[in-house]
Amino acid sequence: MLRHRRLAIIVSILGLVSLAQAQQKAKAAHIPTPAESVGFEVGADRKLADYRQIATYLKALAAASDRVEIETLGKTTLGEEMVMAVISTPENLRNKAHYQEVARKLADPRGLTREQVDALAGEGKAIFLLTCNIHSTEIGSSQMAMEWAYKLATAQDEETRRRLGDTIVLLVPSLNPDGQIMVTEWYKKWVGTRYEGGAMPYLYHHYVGHDDNRDWYMLTQIETKNMNRAVYHEWFPQFWLDEHQMGANGPRIYIPPNADPVAKLVNPLVHRGNNLVGADMGWRLEEAGKSGVIYGYSFDAYWPGGTRNTGWWKNMYGVLTEVASARIATPLEVAPTELQGGAKGLITYEQQINFPNPWPGGVWRLRDIMDYELLVSDAALETMSKYRKELLRGVATMARQAMDSAEPGTVWRIPIEGQRDPITATRLAALMVEHGVEVRLSGDKKSFLIPTAQPYGRFADEMMGIQRYPEVRPAPNSGILEPYDVAAWSLPLMMGVQAERVRLTPAELSAAAVTKDIPWPAAGLAGTGKYYTVADQQNNAFALANAMLKAGSQVFVSRKAGETPAMIFAAHPQLAVNAEKLHLRLQSLAELPKEAVPMKAMRVGIYKSYIPSIDEGWTRFVLEQYGFGVKNIENKEVKAGNLNNAYDVIILPDSSREAVVDGRSSREGYFEELPPEYTGGIGRDGVRALKDFVEKGGTIITLARASEVVMGDEFNLPVRNILSSATERGRGVQTADFNIPGSLLRIYVDTNHPVGYGMPNEVAAFYDGPIAFQTSAPAPDVQRSVIAWYPNEARDILVSGYAHGAERLERKAAAVSFTKGKGKIVMFGFRVQHRAQTEGTFQMLFNAIYWGGM
Ligand SMILES: [Zn+2]
């Protein structure tokens, strides 16, 4: 009783406080405009507000308006505060927690009757998430966000009031604040010069650049995690609109419907909902006299890696818009003769039913981008308001259908024991929980179980199963539609985790408890001794090796014929705590086996070009995650030579030879000029310096296309890429003959080679080619090894995704190594650490680094 009374008092105090806040806000006579806050007209030519100004403005708006609140999503990679404005009527905001609860129940309607769902859909508010500017150079939406927030906070007309009464808007002005700041700083630095509006010579995210929108099923980056938490654990928005920009010479805006192909497991109601929104967007744009509106173009309904796409498999409506770009904030004049189609849905730039009113060309500016974006944001809000009840009910319907269509008792089972890397297997289960998927621990505590009969069951099936890309042809005898991005995302295969789809008895299923806190494998030191050992087939063993070497302790790798290699650690005061932290269980050893070889702390340099390589960022990210000491090397340092003084290993991330050697992004034609300090590549001098580095004992690791850098005359290695231009009479292999756009392929690994230590004999490797190594007999001073190779028969090559022309990979090498002088070269033709997703092959990269010191 007492507790209740106290609670009542607290509630009434809270009520008074919020009432007082509301009165205070009402008293603030003036709601600041964006221009008053930032000091210039937002959207004017050559003017940009940076993220800090935008966040400051939204906070000022929240302080002055009772329709706006601010939530903090978390910190960014570089420590900025990620904000989200919550915009609705004051009444809805007061009942925010209640509407979140309604949304959560509709997303997971288990236990509710049809009538209860109907009542909740009637009572709930449409929760509408609008995310802006995930791609930092697509700057318009970050500026538009201020204007739209101001409009929603101040408009007094009936229409706006009705829309706000029906919805709660979650407005994220930038999904990558760090990059927004980099781009605005770069733009301001060069405005008024010949480099105004030009390319930046580095990635616009500390690690992943443009790939921040390729991270939404793996959730590796902090910004992705922050948004994911708000979406699938706090707000459960029914609708997600993500506003982007595209190229400058085609249509002015892309709206739904999406282009083909379409993913089998996404509920068709998702597309029906999206198309309702798209229809209203198109109508309002035409009504406002905006030309160049296209749908069914370029952006498919198949790939789950981007913001709102991932949500489709979780019964969420999600729409992408893409507006044509200017040169950042600088107007761009497009001549009518420069307008072009060339993408799926618009082969030639002509009037057609999905493009009824082509833009005629002319000047295109930031203001135009923002005007189109304001119109589609309003249209989406209007659709949410008009179809509120139906759309909310639809989410519950989709969740029901996901459960009804699942085979009863079917689960994805991830055994905990018997995994090559039990920690990575556990990480997969934890990732599913982070996605909002229900994961259970089996009654005997030996497996994680993911029931397919759950609201997000289709998401689980998509992520745990394998892909077969649909070969959709737009016309008879035409080629197939190309995938938008990669064609495979089978998480167990990419992570090297065993999982199977099995059917449980009702008793087995009910014995399995839902678990939110995934238990990690038992960790620490078992027994006491001078040494401790752990199987060298767990990625975290490398993190422990790096930590202990950094602490000045000794680490060894030991390999007896026919046995799993082991990593051996000398006893050290920090060993137990580090092992605990990394979930590793170490066994004591009385003495050091005689075959143990010491591991040396390696100084790793990652080459960084001014033609930014996203793979450079991902490589740096993965190595930092595992505690490797890495440093970037830029052109000047490479050219200066004497690289052995500072590095033991140099990694050349995926880049073309032109980008690395000449600093050019393409073989021929126009490319954007960078300011003088950023022009050129490592040049011939740099290539010679790399060769000198190897001869004096250094190790070079090349990733994917970067193998071309060491395949020239300078190194004279007995290897060629049979799919590269050099062997195909001046042009590369054509996609009509060979097309593997990001798939998982079977490779065999030589586990006796130090780069293959601890690996299984056969593994799924991520491949986006076109690379197939062919080695030949070397000169006497060179040794060559094939570390991994593709199967003899094309039909055995594809594991998940899409592979056309796989016969060209038959019996070809996937990874090779050379020793030359005192040093080594390792070339990976497949994507060994692709987007930090391929944990199943990370170890080969880690091995290659440590091989350099053996
Ligand atoms: Zn984009």
Distance 405 CA to ligand 1 centre (A): 34
- Nearest Cα neighbor of 612 from 185, 244, 179 is 179
Distance 271 CA to ligand 1 centre (A): 20
Distance 289 CA to ligand 1 centre (A): 25
Q: Are 627 and 543 in contact (CB under 8 A)?
A: yes
For residues 723 and 830, give the distance between their C-alpha atoms in angstroms, rounded to a whole number. Answer: 13
Distance 147 CA to ligand 1 centre (A): 21
Distance 518 CA to ligand 1 centre (A): 34
pLDDT range class, residue 21, cuts 50, 70, 90: low
pTM of the predicted structure, to 2 decimals: 0.95
pLDDT at site 242: 98
Distance 614 CA to ligand 1 centre (A): 15
Locate 367 and state its tokens. 């203001």
Distance 650 CA to ligand 1 centre (A): 32
pLDDT at site 5: 45
pLDDT range class, residue 731, cuts 50, 70, 90: low
pLDDT range class, residue 726, cuts 50, 70, 90: very low
Distance 353 CA to ligand 1 centre (A): 25
pLDDT range class, residue 14, cuts 50, 70, 90: very low
Distance 321 CA to ligand 1 centre (A): 9
Q: What is the average pLDDT across 787-804?
A: 97
pLDDT range class, residue 524, cuts 50, 70, 90: very high
Distance 618 CA to ligand 1 centre (A): 18
| DSSP string for 647-708 | -SEEEE-S--HIIIII--SSSSS--PPPPGGG---SHHHHHHHHHHHHHTT-EEEEEGGGGG
Max Cα separation, the chain? 90
Predicted confidence (pLDDT) at residue 666 exceeds the cutoff of 90: no
Please report where in the chains the tokens 């033709």 appear, as a residue: 829
Strand order from edge to edge, sheet including 81-87 = 68-75, 81-87, 167-172, 126-132, 239-246, 317-324, 253-254, 293-294
Distance 190 CA to ligand 1 centre (A): 23
Sign of the C-alpha dihedral, residues 233, 237, 239, 242? negative
Distance 346 CA to ligand 1 centre (A): 19
**pLDDT tens-place string over residues 91-137:** 999 999 999 999 999 999 999 999 999 999 999 999 999 999 999 99
Distance 210 CA to ligand 1 centre (A): 8
Distance 132 CA to ligand 1 centre (A): 10
Predicted confidence (pLDDT) at residue 729 exceeds the cutoff of 50: no
Distance 135 CA to ligand 1 centre (A): 5
Distance 246 CA to ligand 1 centre (A): 7
Distance 646 CA to ligand 1 centre (A): 38
Q: Are 720 and 711 in contact (CB under 8 A)?
A: yes
pLDDT at site 582: 98
Distance 509 CA to ligand 1 centre (A): 42
For residues 666 and 345, the model is more confident at 345
* Cis amide prior to 257 (ω within 30 degrees): yes
**pLDDT tens-place string over residues 811-849:** 999 999 999 999 999 999 999 999 999 999 999 999 999
pLDDT at site 7: 45
Q: Which of 108-112, 305-309, 562-566 has the lowest mean pLDDT?
A: 562-566
For residues 478 and 136, give the distance between their C-alpha atoms in angstroms, rounded to a whole number. Answer: 36
pLDDT at site 20: 54
Distance 624 CA to ligand 1 centre (A): 27
Distance 180 CA to ligand 1 centre (A): 13
- What is the percent of the chain where pLDDT is above 70? 95
Q: Are 120 and 105 in contact (CB under 8 A)?
A: yes
Predicted confidence (pLDDT) at residue 1 exceeds the cutoff of 70: no
Distance 358 CA to ligand 1 centre (A): 22
pLDDT at site 560: 84
Predicted confidence (pLDDT) at residue 10 exceeds the cutoff of 80: no
**Hey, how many other C-beta atoms are within 10 angstroms of the C-beta on 686?**
24
Distance 247 CA to ligand 1 centre (A): 10
Locate 592 and state its tokens. 């050091």
- DSSP class of residue 596 equals -
Distance 540 CA to ligand 1 centre (A): 34
Distance 245 CA to ligand 1 centre (A): 6
pLDDT at site 483: 86
Distance 553 CA to ligand 1 centre (A): 46
pLDDT at site 3: 45
pLDDT at site 6: 47
**pLDDT tens-place string over residues 41-86:** 999 999 999 999 999 999 999 999 999 999 999 999 999 999 999 9
Distance 658 CA to ligand 1 centre (A): 25
**pLDDT tens-place string over residues 143-165:** 999 999 999 999 999 999 999 99
Distance 377 CA to ligand 1 centre (A): 17
**pLDDT tens-place string over residues 190-219:** 999 999 999 999 999 999 999 999 999 999
Please report where in the chains the tokens 């923002």 appear, as a residue: 370
Q: What value does the mean pLDDT of the chain take?
A: 94
Distance 221 CA to ligand 1 centre (A): 17
CB-based neighbours (< 5 A) of ligand 1, an ion: 135, 138, 244
Distance 380 CA to ligand 1 centre (A): 19
Distance 568 CA to ligand 1 centre (A): 46
Distance 252 CA to ligand 1 centre (A): 14
Predicted confidence (pLDDT) at residue 669 exceeds the cutoff of 80: no
Distance 204 CA to ligand 1 centre (A): 12
pLDDT range class, residue 9, cuts 50, 70, 90: very low
pLDDT at site 11: 45
For residues 567 and 25, the model is more confident at 567
pLDDT at site 463: 98
pLDDT at site 23: 53
Please report where in the chains the tokens 């706000």 appear, as a residue: 164
pLDDT range class, residue 446, cuts 50, 70, 90: very high
For residues 381 and 392, give the distance between their C-alpha atoms in angstroms, rounded to a whole number. Answer: 14
Distance 782 CA to ligand 1 centre (A): 46
509 Cβ neighbours under 8 A, 6+ residues apart: 409, 411, 440, 449, 451
For residues 664 and 229, give the distance between their C-alpha atoms in angstroms, rounded to a whole number. Answer: 40
Distance 244 CA to ligand 1 centre (A): 4
Distance 134 CA to ligand 1 centre (A): 7
- Nearest Cα neighbor of 278 from 299, 263, 248 is 299
Distance 625 CA to ligand 1 centre (A): 26
Predicted confidence (pLDDT) at residue 634 exceeds the cutoff of 90: yes
Distance 342 CA to ligand 1 centre (A): 18
Distance 441 CA to ligand 1 centre (A): 39
Distance 345 CA to ligand 1 centre (A): 18
For residues 593 and 595, give the distance between their C-alpha atoms in angstroms, rounded to a whole number. Answer: 6
For residues 744 and 762, give the distance between their C-alpha atoms in angstroms, rounded to a whole number. Answer: 12
For residues 802 and 811, give the distance between their C-alpha atoms in angstroms, rounded to a whole number. Answer: 19
Q: What is the average pLDDT across 234-243?
A: 98
